[in-house]
Amino acid sequence: MKRRSFLTSSAVALSCSSISTAFSQSREAIKVGILHSLSGTMAISETALKETALMTIEQINAKGGVMGRPLEAVVVDPASNWPLFAERARQLISQDKVAAVFGCWTSVSRKSVLPVFKELNHLLFYPVQYEGEELEKNVFYTGAAPNQQAIPATEYLMSKDGGAAKRFFLLGTDYVYPRTTNKILRAFLKSKGVKESDIEEIYTPFGHSDYQTIVANVKKYSAGGKTCVISTINGDSNVPFYKELGNAGLKAKDVPVVAFSVGEEELRGVDTKPLVGHLAAWNYFMSLKNPENDAFIKLYRDYARAKKLPNADKVVTNDPMEATYIGIHMWKQAVEQVKTTEIEKVIDAVGGQKFKAPCGFEVSMDKTNHHLHKPVFIGEVRADGQFNVVWKTKGPLRAQPWSPFIPGNESRQKA
């Protein structure tokens, strides 16, 4: 009796979790899949990407859709559960017959859906900065590869303006992205003549919340020479880390911390006044001033208000949101170019697409390596939780998914 009711209720719950939203009844809609966690630990970051995707689709529909057909978003919730990502991806492709999928955040979720996309020969747009070491025909990477984020940031810290750091404290959450990034950075630093003893590498478990010892160690380490912290801490742990940093009085002018996974959204949960001057490296900041970005921010604000999102008057935009926005638009352009949603043809057409992005540059999708050419910005945290750009590249950089700093990659770089 009990068991049966449990089964029925879970069946109901499962069928509810895939909600399709039809925007228009006119001409047959094109379905696109949105694969972001709306519950579980990653909901904090991925919910905003789902909203961005829906907003972009609404915007495209308002302008007449794709080839005159409206887009229809199929939203599923993989619930921060990596195997479930693969299951949901399969469902989107085989059952809902979507034309493309936009989704994933963590590298482990991407790795979990890859076999599905390869097997069914389908199309995924991945919008988050990641560790590289991957190149799939079925995936377009609209986030940064290490040479578009980690390497320039480290170079900046070594420069006079970045504080001329001599010692490096690499601090990360214990999983594939921080470990690979730090491996690349270590090789890079060695190539710049930094001694092994001047590099410290520390990892914490997911969800770690007590940073007392680590912050004390950073302080101690900094007594031995000008130190900077390169943080690949991911997700929820950032708030306790920055709170501890602020309270321990570790100021950015003494020991700057540069983070690769902290953006406007993450700083919303923190009192940023003690953090002024700490750094983040991204390919987009909300504080950038250009017409595309103004329009993008306004679009999202209006959307948040219209949809009555929680804290709608205080929503912020960030780098992965911009990457999602670019991804959907590039897919639209490609489909309109080849006049079909056929996967093979669209994949060929996405490479080489250009788009005037909110970062203020015209970014283009590389024909051969499926990564975006992106500009790099380094920003200092301001008291209001936004970033003040202190360094940027002159223009978009081509991605190097196979880092030259990892041995064995030489042969792959040509790809």
Partner 1 sequence: MPGASAQILRNAWAGPGAPTVDRFRPLLIAAVLALAAASLFFGARSAAAGTGAPGSTAAGFAIEEGLPLSGLRSDDPDERIEAVESIALSGHALAGRVLRAIEDERLVWLEERGWMLLAEGGAAVPPPGAQTVGVNNRVRAALENAQAFLALGDSDVQRRREAASTLEGIEAVRYLEALTAAWQRESDSVVRQALLLAVAKLRLQSPEASLRLEAVRALALAESSAVRRQLQDLLGLDSTGFREPDPQVREAARVALAAMDARLRKFEWIAAAFSGLSLGSVLLLAALGLAITYGLMGVINMAHGEFLMIGAYSTYLVQQLFRRFAGDWIDWYVLAAVPLAFLASALLGIVLERTVLRWLYGRPLETLLSTWGVSLLLIQSCRLLFGAQNVEVENPSWLSGSMALAGDIVIPYNRMAILAFALVVLLGVYTVLQQTRAGLFVRAVTQNRAMASCTGIPTDRVDTLTFGFGCGIAGLGGVALSQLGNVGPDLGQQYIVDSFMVVVLGGVGQLAGTAIAALGLGSVSKILEPFTGAVLAKIMVLLFIIAFIQRRPQGLFALKGRSADA
Residues that bind partner 1 (CB under 8 A): 38-41, 43-44, 47-48, 160-163, 174, 202-205, 207-210, 212-214, 216-217, 219-220, 222-226, 236, 239-240, 243-244, 246-249, 252-254, 256, 265, 268-271, 274, 276-277, 291, 294, 298, 309-311, 380, 388, 390
Taking the least distance from each CB to partner 1, the nearer of 34 and 99 is 34
For the bound state, the minimum distance from the C-beta of residue 360 to partner 1, rounded and expressed in Å, comes to 12
For the bound state, the minimum distance from the C-beta of residue 92 to partner 1, rounded and expressed in Å, comes to 21
How many helices (H) and strands (E) the chain has is answered by 12, 16
For the bound state, the minimum distance from the C-beta of residue 316 to partner 1, rounded and expressed in Å, comes to 9
Taking the least distance from each CB to partner 1, the nearer of 253 and 414 is 253
For the bound state, the minimum distance from the C-beta of residue 272 to partner 1, rounded and expressed in Å, comes to 9
Give 224-272 as a DSSP string. TS-EEEEEE--GGGHHHHHHHHHHTT--TTTS-EEESS--HHHHTTS--
Taking the least distance from each CB to partner 1, the nearer of 261 and 364 is 261
> What's the token pair of residue 288?
């950038």
For the bound state, the minimum distance from the C-beta of residue 391 to partner 1, rounded and expressed in Å, comes to 8
Distance of alpha carbon 98 from alpha carbon 132, whole angstroms = 27
The three-state secondary structure class of 293 is helix
Distance of alpha carbon 378 from alpha carbon 168, whole angstroms = 18
For the bound state, the minimum distance from the C-beta of residue 382 to partner 1, rounded and expressed in Å, comes to 9
Taking the least distance from each CB to partner 1, the nearer of 143 and 256 is 256
Taking the least distance from each CB to partner 1, the nearer of 139 and 245 is 245
For the bound state, the minimum distance from the C-beta of residue 369 to partner 1, rounded and expressed in Å, comes to 33
For the bound state, the minimum distance from the C-beta of residue 9 to partner 1, rounded and expressed in Å, comes to 10
Residues 6+ apart with CB under 8 A from 405: 183, 184, 185, 187, 188, 191
Closest CA to 282 of 255, 314, 322: 322
Taking the least distance from each CB to partner 1, the nearer of 31 and 36 is 36
Distance of alpha carbon 41 from alpha carbon 226, whole angstroms = 35
Judge contact between 240 and 270, C-beta under 8 A. Answer: no
Distance of alpha carbon 362 from alpha carbon 79, whole angstroms = 34
For the bound state, the minimum distance from the C-beta of residue 94 to partner 1, rounded and expressed in Å, comes to 28
Matching residue, tokens 């792959």: 412
Task: Give, in order, the Cα–Cα distances in Å from 103 to each of 71, 207, 210.
Answer: 16, 23, 31
Closest CA to 185 of 412, 407, 405: 405
Taking the least distance from each CB to partner 1, the nearer of 220 and 339 is 220
Residues 6+ apart with CB under 8 A from 330: 125, 140, 142, 350, 353, 355, 365
> What's the token pair of residue 240?
């306790």
Taking the least distance from each CB to partner 1, the nearer of 115 and 224 is 224
Residue type, 2: K
Taking the least distance from each CB to partner 1, the nearer of 100 and 258 is 258
For the bound state, the minimum distance from the C-beta of residue 166 to partner 1, rounded and expressed in Å, comes to 9
- How many of the other CB atoms lie within 10 Å of CB of 15? 9
Taking the least distance from each CB to partner 1, the nearer of 8 and 24 is 8
